[in-house]
Every structure is written in structure tokens, then in C-alpha cells.
Structure 1
Amino acid sequence: MSALIQRLRALVPSREQLAANPWLRGLAPYLADPKLWHWSRRGVAMGVAIGLFIGFLIPLAQILLAAAVAVFLRANVAVAAAGTLVTNPLTVPPIYYAAYHLGAWATGASPTAAISLADPTSIGANLGAIGIPLFAGLAIAASFAAVASYLLISQVWIWRVSTKRRSARP
């Protein structure tokens, strides 16, 4: 388990990398706070939740928004920034396709079968028809992913700490 955590820490951007980002210069004074970089149960769980929520819901400037929200909510900034990587060029098409169908089901709209997600002109021409179900589906998925990840990480963290404490006792 510790090897997995070490690999995850290696993937997370450092304080220096984020501070050097020209988009994050306005947050530089706030990014110096060591509490925003500490690996604590609440900070990591909140960071992942923020990253997933923004990663699903906001298509642009995700890392900047995740860092700003993490500073505001006192979560781990690096984990929040890394959490936005859930959406990338490989995952966006299936996520948006599933979110559209989820949103169509939630809003009661009929899914438009004629829209080909592989054809950008079809999507652009039918944006009005797919916009509300897509946004509703993304909002539902973002909320669910954020809450579920926060609860799961918190519970796994508590379980891991209690297991370590039990094994450390003589």
C-alpha cells in the first residue's frame, strides 16, 4: 500500500511547479501555506473531491479553478490539481456520452440518437438539444464523484491508520 501512495505522490505536482505556473501567480502568496500541502485525511479527501468535481463540470482552466477552490476550502492543492486530470482527451468522450444519457434520463428529455459524438459538426449544430441534458448529467456525475470520493478516501484513511495502530501495539 505504501508503494502505491509513493507513486501517487510522485504524480502530484509540487508546490514549486504550481507556483511557477503563470496562470497561478495570483495564488502564489496563498500557496506558501504548508497546510495546503500536508497529506492529511481531510486535506487529501477534500482535494480529490474538489478535483473530480471541477474536472467533470468545468471544461476549461480546471487546474487553476481547482487550486483556487482548494486554497479557499483549505484542501490539499496538489491533490486537487491532480484530481482534475480525470478528464483528458481519452476520457472526455465516454464521460460526456454517459453524462448526456444520465442527464437525458434525469431531465426527462429523449436522447437524440441522430447525434454522432464522433462528428463535431453534428454536436455543434445540435448543441441546443444536448446542452441541458449534458450539463445536468455532468452536474450529477460531478456531485456524485465528489461526495463518493470524499467518503471513500476518508474511510480508507481511517481504516489504514487504525490497522497501523493495531499492528504497532505489542
Structure 2
Amino acid sequence: MAKKTIQRFLPDHNKVKHHKYLKIFGRLLHDANLWHLNRRSARGAFSVGLFFAFIPVPFQMVLAAALAIPLRVNLPISVAVVWITNPLTMPPIFYCSYLIGTLVLGQPEQHFAFQPSWQWFMESLTTIGPAFLVGSFISACVASIVGYFGVDLLWRRSVRKAWLNRHKK
């Protein structure tokens, strides 16, 4: 059940292989294990994708693919899960990361107003930057661990339910 549900949402592997940003990996994308869907590859892919979803860097998809290849986890899942942080979800997720960072570092919460300028960005690196980066790293690690064990649990539950249904018949 879990496998069929996930496969429904996965993009075609040929489309992913020919994505303009993933072409840098060349022949590494031809490894069959990157496209195979099983419990091990799914839980690892969710973990990789969730980690990079919470890290505030550009080209998160490329970074997720770069880690999925040596770990030999499902590449389309790891790249797709990164999109949990999209333009709609980024502000609340990154604000929560900032709050976590202030809590961990013991800093008071600073009020700020976003301005799309280079000057604001450079000034914010010294004021809110440390708390934001620490909070983002902690959020990434926690989300990655929860995703890994959550997918594993859901997959096992799905397999057990299917096995029991077959056994009843």
C-alpha cells in the first residue's frame, strides 16, 4: 500500500535524469538503486530530503541529490521532499527555526522586518543569523530523524496490514 501510494506521486525517472540541474551527476544517475523503491530507500530518501528542506541554502534539490547518490537512496523522493519548504511554507518554517535557535543559544528574540536588499541581508547575518542558522540545523536534524523513523514505521505498518489481509483471505 505505501509503495503504491508513493509511486503514484513520483515523477518519471527519465524526466528527473534529464533535469537541467541534475545533469552534473552524469552517469551516476544510471545506478538502478537510485530509482528502486523499497523501505530502505524510501526512509533514507525522506531523511535526506527533509534535512535539506530545513537548511536555508539555494539549490537544495541538487544538494539532496548529491547526498542521495552516495547513500544509494531513492533519488526522486529525496529531491521531491525538499519542496516541503516552498515559497508558501518557508516563512513560518524558517521563523520557527529562528525561534528554536534563540531558545538554544539563550538569546532574546529580536524583532526584524524583512527587506529584499543586500544591506539588510549582511546586517542580519550578525544580528539574527547565528540563531537562525543554529535553529535551522537543529530543525533539519530533528525532521530528518523523525522522517526516517516515521516512514519506516508507516511502511512496516502497511506491509503488516497487507500481510494480515492476505492471510484472512
* Same fold by TM-score greater than 0.5: yes
Task: Check if 1:36 corresponds to 2:41.
Answer: no
Distance 1:164 1:3 in 2: 11
Matching residue within 73, 76, 79 for 1:78:
76
Q: What aligned pairs does 1:1-170 form with structure 2 within 5 A after superposition? A: 5=5, 8-113=6-111, 115-117=112-114, 119-120=115-116, 123-124=120-121, 125-170=123-168
Residues 86 and 123 of structure 1: is their aligned pair in 2 closer, same or farther, counting only changes over 3 Å?
Answer: farther
> How far did 1:12 drift?
2.6
Measure the CA separation in 1 of the matches of 2:50 and 2:143.
6
Matched pairs, number: 166
Contact 1:116 1:123 survives alignment (8 Å): no
Residue 2 (structure 1) shift: 6.4
Structure number with higher relative contact order (C-alpha < 8 Å, ≥ 6 residues apart): 2
**Preserved contact between residue 103 and residue 137 of structure 1 (Cα < 8 Å):** yes
Please provide the CA RMSD for this pair: 2.0
Whether the aligned pair in 2 keeps the contact of 1:15 and 1:31 (CA below 8 Å) is: no
| AA matched with 2:113 | S
Moved over 2 A (4+): 1-4, 8-14, 119-127
Of 26-35 and 61-70, the range deviating more from structure 2:
26-35
AA of the residue aligned to 2:144? A
Normalised by the length of structure 2, the TM-score is 0.89
Distance in 2, Cα, partners of 1:88 & 1:59: 12
**C-alpha distance 3-169 of structure 1, shift in aligned 2 (>3 A):** closer
Cα distance in 2, alignment partners of residues 3 and 163 from structure 1: 13
Q: 1:151 Cα shift?
A: 0.2
TM-score, normalised on structure 1? 0.89
Q: Secondary structure at the match of 1:116?
A: coil
